[in-house]
Amino acid sequence: MNKIRFTLKAIVLGVMIFAFASFAQAQATRTWVSGVGDDVNPCSRTAPCKTYAGAISKTAKDGEISTLDPGGFGTVTITKSLTINGGGGGAGYGAILSSGGVSGVTINITDPADVRKAVRLDWLNINGTSTGSNGIRILAANSVAIENTLVDGVTNNGVEINTSASVEVSINKSTFRNCASRGFSASTTSGTVNASISHSNFFNNGTGVLATNNSRVSCYDCVADGNATNGYVAQVTGSAANSSQLTLEHCVAFNSGTGIAAGGGIAGASDILRVSDSSITNNTTAGFVVFSTGQIVSFNDNIIEGNGANVGAKTSGIFQ
């Protein structure tokens, strides 16, 4: 009898140790994906997973998913603080194909125990295949950093910020092209979106950059080229209580419908676009337009030449 009890205790202890080891393995600080991996693997360096979605459940909060080699790693929803590193320098460029109305990356962190609520995306190549919805969609987070990333061919926005609380977003050295609606769009129903964009390109989208409901967006050394409607626009679309602010410094608005625009959304709202040391040229409709509720503040060091009309429609807005 004692031998049986001893055997049972040993079995129970072994099961507990195995379960603990499996849990610890499932929550590694760093996990890995590879084009020749498998999601049944533990996502270790020597036994990597196949997709980012497969690696997330095995990555600890505040941890990192690293990419070993080029491959297609699937769409992913991020619900905890995390870094996805596509490999750097193109050595392991993390490719994501999104189709059928699905976004490439969705960020939705609502867990109160997740204090940071921070996401970093680096060296990703998101291809919407002309049917994917958004490249990167931010629904809830405290901060998001996007670096060295390409979004191409989505039916809505390259980056869509659509939150119900404040969020800080940083974008650096990234390209957003062939996005049917906008390369970048920022909006929140409560709090403020603060977004800084630097050294980035917005090419052949509906609109390059849109700052809308309760957003403060700053662009430095950015190029908006070949966008059908506007290169850069500040326009509230929610309610009159909202406002939008867009600041451009050392930027280019070229070969779009209108180079820069402010206002024209909701009556009674406030839309401000500030522009300094920038070039606004060869836009087919106008260099700039300013509508009611809109204000464009120029610091008199810009080039505004060669547009269909350098000064377009002005509907009781303010241009300084």
Residues 6+ apart with CB under 8 A from 259: 224, 230, 231, 232, 253, 280, 281, 283, 286, 287, 288, 304, 307
Residues 6+ apart with CB under 8 A from 225: 201, 202, 203, 204, 231, 252, 254, 255, 256
Give the tens place of pLDDT for each residue, 202-240.
Answer: 999 999 999 999 999 999 999 999 999 999 999 999 888
Which residue, 135, 212, 228, is CA-closest to 174?
Answer: 135
Give the tens place of pLDDT for each residue, 121-151.
Answer: 999 999 999 999 999 999 999 999 999 999 9
State the burial class of residue 196 (Cβ atoms within 10 Å of its Cβ: 0-12, 13-18, 19+): middle
Distance CA 100, CA 244 (A): 32
List the domain boundaries for the chain.
156-320
Query: What's the predicted TM-score (pTM) here?
Result: 0.90
CATH topology assigned to domain 156-320: Pectate Lyase C-like (2.160.20)
